[in-house]
Amino acid sequence: MNTAAKLFASMRRNPRDWSIADLQTVARQNGVDWRHQKSSHCVFVREDGRTLSVPAHRPIKPIYVQKFIELVEGA
């Protein structure tokens, strides 16, 4: 199991205390693009056009991590 897969499994178990860098690592491994250029939010974009905007400040609230997990899983 690679690092991104371990991070994703950990996010499922505990959606608290994650950083934007962690989310970007998981997104990269799962083919999800993102935009984050001098803004307060990072926008994750799936191939089908579905998006999720996540505030880039720490800590990221668990609800955003849960929505990110749903985005990656394709729900």
For the stretch 19-66, pLDDT in tens is 999 999 999 999 999 999 888 999 999 999 999 999 988 889 999 999
Q: Are 9 and 30 in contact (CB under 8 A)?
A: no
Answer with the residue of higher pLDDT: 75 or 27: 27
Distance CA 29, CA 54 (A): 18
Q: Output the domain CATH number for residue 18.
A: 3.30.920
Distance CA 15, CA 38 (A): 25
> 9 pLDDT exceeds 70?
yes
Domain assignment of residue 15, given as a range = 3-73
* Residue the block writes with tokens 């990656």: 72
Q: How many domains does the chain have?
A: 1
The pTM assigned to this predicted structure is 0.91
